[in-house]
Structures are given as structure tokens and as C-alpha cells.
A and B are shown apart, each in its own frame.
Chain A
Amino acid sequence: MSVASPNAERGVAVELTELRRSYGPVNALDSMTLHLAPGEFVALLGPSGCGKTTALRCLAGLEDPDAGTITIGGRDVTALPTNKRDLGMVFQAYSLFPHMTARQNVEFGLEMRGQDKSTRARRAGDMLDLVGLSSQADRYAHQMSGGQQQRVALARALAISPQVLLLDEPLSALDAKVRTQLRDEIRRIQLEIGTTTLFVTHDQEEALAVADRVGVMRAGRLEQLAPPQELYARPATAFVAEFVGLTNRLAGRASGGRAEVLGVSLPLLAGSGDGNVEVLVRPEGIEATPDPNGNATVLSAAFLGAHGRVTARTDGGEQVEVQVASAALPSFEPGQRVRVTPRGDAALAVAR
């Protein structure tokens, strides 16, 4: 197979259905269901200890679920050992075999599949090319940087043309710059070869940037699975709204699918409560203008690069975070009176 040809049909569907796994009293997976479409890139996002790794390891066969089923390409693999599942896996760090060169690492899986020497060498060369490391082929792990090691690990996982690619926080040991670079590269390669991919991370920016769909997990369950924009604009639960991006919790009264917040009537998202509620409004969903007769006082203003953030206290005593253009930042001084108004985007309301 040529590496360079777009080959999206390669992907297979992957279904985790009602998986349960407990460690003593801890329910690491609590009836977790997650279905991936063929060729899809899904990022699993969630706070530490929510069960992301456990879900991924169950799919890999490195952990046995107590209950539930796992299918890959329609085939039930729940009882299949790891080495028969046809997976590529990239670990957090230090997974390269230290006594083998980069090339030998990449060839390892091909050797397990009984491929002859010249096929292996060609394929390993192609894969190292793909991750941009042809010049490092004869290096050992300790002679490479963390980012290079992870590239080799990716090449090794992809060399066997796996049905599913699994990545467990593959970038978390790298510094910020390498992290974004490699993350975009992983996405490029995944699009190129079309392998169904499950990517575990606790970095929301990373998840939103690369995935077709992002699954947010909480305490062993999937809270919401949606494309990045939808997840951000239409969170299904307060947990999702707060975990993905910053959000303000503002008191309001809801009825008939609308709620009044800071004097503005906002449409409410599906799943919102009625009556006395807290409405979840993003900093960029609020506008702030200097106004001596305003409804709030500036507490602080911070420059964040592309934009600025103003923190204000309303006359009702609520603290509000507002995103403003960087250029407008100088006009917000602590102690100054401002008017804060929701822009009118649909928001989620939860019972107060």
C-alpha cells in the first residue's frame, strides 16, 4: 500500500457499548458507550481520573471490562487478546524499545506479521518519511528528543496499517510548541490514511483542534459526544459547558425556553431547566462598554494576546468574565463603571 494515497475507506467502525470496569470501589467505567464512525477521529476529553485511559485500554485489550461489548469493524473483539486486535497504539512516553534504533522499532510490528526484510525496510523508510524523521532512522531512543521519540512511536504504530489507532496523551510530555506542531501533524497523517482514531487527552484545546468529534467524559460515563463547535456552542450539561472553555454562571428566571439575564432575554438550549436558574454564558457571549451609568464595576483587566479579558462585578453582586478586543483593553481600568450585556447567543440554564 502506498502511504501517500488518500484512503479513507480503510477506516472501520468501532463500538464500545455499555462498558463497565471497576477497581475495587472505584467505577472507572460506568456503563460507557462510545461509537466511532469509520475513519473518524474522536478525542476523549475529561478531568483526571474520569476513565479515559481505562476506556482506551479496554479497546486495546490491555484491560478487561467487567461487562459490555467492544466491536471493531462489526466483529466482536471483547474476548480477543491484544495481539489479535490489529491496533496501533501510541503511549504517553518512553514506549520505544531502547535497544533498537528508530528503524528497528518501526520494523518490529512488520516482523511480527512475518514480512520479509526488504518489504520491512521499504515500509519503515516510508513511515519515517511520513513523520519527517528519515534522517534519524539509525538513532536510539535516548539520542532523540521527546517529540522525535513520539514521532517514531507514531510511525511504529502506523507501520502495521492498523484498523484502529489509539493515542493516550501522546503529547502531554512535550513542550507547548512541539505539542501543537505534532498534534497538527497527527491530524494530517490521520486524514491521509483514514484510520479510525481514538485520541485521549485532558487538554481541551488539543481535543477541539484535531477531532471530528469530541467526547467529554465524567466519572466513567460519556457526557456528550459532538463536533467541536457544537460542543462549545451547545453544551448538553453544565459539566461540559464548564469543562470546555470558560463560562459565567449568571442568575436568571427561565420560562418557555427563554431566560432573562442582566436585563436581556436569551434563548435556552435543549435540556435547560425552568424557574430560578443559573445561565451559563461564555465570556465572548457578553459585551462590555465603559458607561458611567452602567450596571457593573471593573475588578481587573488582563491582556491575553489575541484578546483581553475584563473581570467585573455587577450591581447584583455577581462576578462576570467578559472577552474584549485587545485594542479596547486600555479603556477598562479597575474601579471604572461599565455596562455588561449578553449578546443574545443561545445558552444552557441549570437549576439554581
Chain B
Amino acid sequence: MAKSPRSGTRALGGIKPSGALAGVVPFFAYTTVFLLIPTLVVIIAAFVSDGHLTLGNVRALGNAGFLTALKQSIILSALTAIIGAVVGGILAYAVSTARPDGILKRFITSLCGVLAQFGGVALAFAFIASFGAQGMISAWMKKAGVGPSSTLWLYQWDKGVLLVYLYFQIPLMLIVFLPAVEGLRPQWREATETLGGTTWTYWRRVAMPILFPSFVGATLLLFTNAFSAYATAAALVSQAQPLVPLQIAGTFTSETVLGQANVGKAMALAMVVVVAIVMTIYAWLDKRSSKWLVR
């Protein structure tokens, strides 16, 4: 019999077989082209104006409008991330208890896939058509004499926008968190019970600690997802620019002030910094729990 190839053996911390390296080349190419280069462009452009190095763009960020937008962007992202993570997490657990190959589960996961991608914009228009000034439901409510007298709430970042964001945050949470929930083995619950523990013990001592790293990771992903979302906000908000992505877009389309585009790049740099901070927090949390994780 021929000698079996080495590929089946596990690389124990040492040098991996070259085949494994070949596999990551597309990944590095992809991140370089679509992530690294744009980030570098943003960072460099933030410090350039009319072909000269300058701190002017960054200094321009100090104006009240941008700082408010940054604060509101962070609050909106954090709120929708936390609410989305909790609601989506509970839904993921509910879905994981359904029959594994059942039609219900397949339907919900594919629906969530679509919603997480496109839910925001589609829903924004659906909301405008229903609750907007000319909306069907608004008209009906006005006739019936119920509901809020104004439809302005729909266009405010901390009301309508927040609500609509949840429509893609919750499905996204469900999709990214479901594998972790499904990784919980029934033996762990049964072992807890035979050792004298209750259902509560199981959740507190076993399931929650095991899920925690994935939960935090997913929540941070939701945060960056909301933080960088543009289309949904743009669809709902037309006049003011209460969020950073809207402000950036504004600097690029503004015809009144020349040189604003460079300020936009400085704003983008600020976003990169926020995301970098989030990633650092994640890396730190991950290191704490990674002792027991299999990689």
C-alpha cells in the first residue's frame, strides 16, 4: 500500500503544509484590494488638501455638527446592536430548537439572509408609504383620530431610523449567532442534570459562558454594521445629516463649499478609528476566553 499523504496530520503549532498557505492567498488579495488600500487612501487623504500635507481637514472635524453626528451615530449603533443582539439571540435559540431540517428553519434563515442585506432600504420605503405624511396608515389613523399628530418621528434618527435599523440588525444577529447556539451539545445539558444541576444552573454555568464570546463578537459586528450603514438612513432622512455617513456623503455632493471632500475623508478616518477601537475591545475580550476555544 502506498504511504498515506501527510495532509491528514495536524500541524501542531509548527509550519503548516504549503497547501494551507496557498489557500489564504485569495483572502489576503481580497482584503488588500477591498479593505487595506481604501483604508490607506482614506488615512492619507485625510491629511492632504490641494496637494499639501495639512491638519486642516482633521481640525475641521471639531465643528459642532460633526461631533453631534458622531455621538448620535455611536448611540444609534450601540442601541440597535444591543437590542438587536438580545432579540436576535433569543430568536436564534428559538430557531435552534426547531427541527433541524424542517421547512420552518430553512424559511427563517433564508428570510433573515435577505433581510439582513436589504431589509433596511426596503423597509424604509415601506414605512414611508405606511406612516409617512401621505402614508396609508397615517391617513387612516388621522381619520380615526388616533396615533401621533405628526409623522415627523419616522424621519428622526433616534425613533424611525432606529426602528428601521432593527429590521436588519435582528436578522443579522440571528444569522451570525445561530451557529454558536447550534453548537451547544445536548450532552452538556444532560451532564449538568445528572450531576445535580437545574435548567437555571445549565444556563448560568454552562450555556451562557460558552456562548459569551460569540455573543460579544456578534454584538460588535452589529455595532459596526449599523455604524457604517448608509442606504437606509439616506432613504429615510433627506434634509438634515444627523449621522456620520450622511455627513460624509454631504461633503462629497456639496456645491457650496469647495474643499469639503477632504473634510469628508477626515470624517471617514474618524469612522475608521471608532471601528479600530471596537476591534481592539473585541480582540481583548477574545483573548480572555480563547484559552478553552478550539481553533
Q: Which residues of B contact A271 (CB under 8 A)?
A: none
In the bound complex, what is the Cα–Cα distance between A81 and B199 (angstroms)?
Answer: 11
Pairwise interchain contact B195-A156, C-beta atoms closer than 8 A: yes
Q: How far is the CB of A158 from chain B (nearest CB, A)?
A: 11
Pairwise interchain contact B197-A112, C-beta atoms closer than 8 A: yes
In the bound complex, what is the Cα–Cα distance between A72 and B151 (angstroms)?
Answer: 68
- Kindly supply a per-residue 1/0 record for chain A positions 102-130, scoring 1 wherever the CB is within 8 Å of any chain B CB and 0 otherwise: 00000011001100000000000000000
From B187, B195, B210, B291, give the contact of A94 (CB < 8 A).
Answer: B187
- Kindly supply a per-residue 1/0 record for chain B positions 106-118, scoring 1 wherever the CB is within 8 Å of any chain A CB and 0 otherwise: 0000000000000
Report the nearest B residue to A89, measured CB to CB: B194
Pairwise interchain contact B194-A157, C-beta atoms closer than 8 A: yes
A99 with B195, Cβ < 8 A, contacts A89-B190, A91-B187 known: no
Q: Is B29 an interface residue (CB 8 A)?
A: no
Q: Is B188 an interface residue (CB 8 A)?
A: yes
Q: How far is the CB of B290 from chain A (nearest CB, A)?
A: 11
Pairwise interchain contact B195-A95, C-beta atoms closer than 8 A: no
Pairwise interchain contact B197-A95, C-beta atoms closer than 8 A: no
Q: Which residues of A contact B197 (CB under 8 A)?
A: 83, 108, 112
Pairwise interchain contact A142-B292, C-beta atoms closer than 8 A: yes
A109 with B196, Cβ < 8 A, contacts A94-B185, A97-B188 known: yes
In the bound complex, what is the Cα–Cα distance between A99 and B184 (angstroms)?
Answer: 12
Q: Is A160 an interface residue (CB 8 A)?
A: yes
**For window 3-34 of chain A, which residues contact chain B by CB distance below 8 Å?**
none
Q: Which residues of B contact A89 (CB under 8 A)?
A: 190-191, 194
In the bound complex, what is the Cα–Cα distance between A188 and B188 (angstroms)?
Answer: 27
**For window 199-217 of chain B, which residues contact chain A by CB distance below 8 Å?**
201, 205-206, 209-210
Pairwise interchain contact A140-B193, C-beta atoms closer than 8 A: no
Report the nearest A residue to B294, measured CB to CB: A142
Q: How far is the CB of B9 from chain A (nearest CB, A)?
A: 15
A108 with B185, Cβ < 8 A, contacts A99-B209, A142-B294 known: no
For the complex of A and B, the 10 pairs showing the least CB-CB separation, nearest first, are A109-B195, A112-B196, A95-B187, A82-B193, A142-B294, A89-B194, A140-B292, A99-B292, A91-B187, A83-B193
- Taking A83-B193, A98-B294 as given, write out 16 further A-B residue pairs in contact, using a Cβ cutoff of 8 Å, ordered by the A residue number: A82-B190, A83-B196, A83-B197, A89-B190, A91-B190, A94-B185, A94-B187, A95-B190, A97-B191, A99-B206, A100-B292, A108-B192, A108-B205, A112-B196, A142-B294, A160-B196
A binding-site residues for B, Cβ under 8 Å = 60-62, 81-83, 85, 87-89, 91, 94-95, 97-100, 108-109, 112-113, 140-142, 156-157, 160, 166
